[in-house]
Amino acid sequence: MDDHRQIELVVTPDPYVTVRYAGASGDFNPIHIDEEYARAAGLEGRILHGLWTMAQVARAAVQGAEVATPEDGYALKSLSVQFRGMGKLFGDVVVRGAAEADGVVKLDATQGETRLIRNARALIH
């Protein structure tokens, strides 16, 4: 993959994305799926799952690449992230990244002014 490749992935959540992700992932923490619970917890409303946002970073990191082969497994060899602000169920989630040397890709994910994931580092082979 060419070095210095610039990455951008824009994902628009819909009001039920956390419900689908809860079912798919098994993470039914009510803070993601129950508006009243989330408000009682002091939030404006339900929040995105951090691991859903990390999945968007994982997708973005291998954009345009063959994601897996039987011989070499996944193109994405590792991914580490730090979670920061809480994601809302409206407003585009934007993943931006840049490929560096030796398969390293550095990324972050934002939603408006909120930084959802910072210092993400992926290794692609």
Q: Is 42 in the site for another protein (CB under 8 A)?
A: no
- Contact region with another protein (CB under 8 A), list: 44-52, 98-106, 107-115: 44-52
CA 18/CA 32 separation, integer angstroms: 6
Q: Is 90 in the site for another protein (CB under 8 A)?
A: no
How far CA 66 is from CA of 61, 80, 96, 98, 124, in Å, comes to 11, 20, 19, 18, 11
**Which residues in 49-78 contact another protein (CB under 8 A)?**
50-52, 54-56, 58-59, 67-70, 73-74, 76-78
75 vs 99 by CB, closer to another protein? 75
Sheet with 104-111, side-by-side order of all strands: 6-11, 93-99, 104-111, 114-124
CA 113/CA 7 separation, integer angstroms: 19
Phi, psi of 50 (to 5 degrees): -60, -35
- Contact region with another protein (CB under 8 A), list: 80-88, 97-105, 107-115: 80-88
Q: Which residues bind to another protein, rule: CB under 8 A?
A: 11, 17, 20-21, 23-27, 41, 50-52, 54-56, 58-59, 67-70, 73-74, 76-83
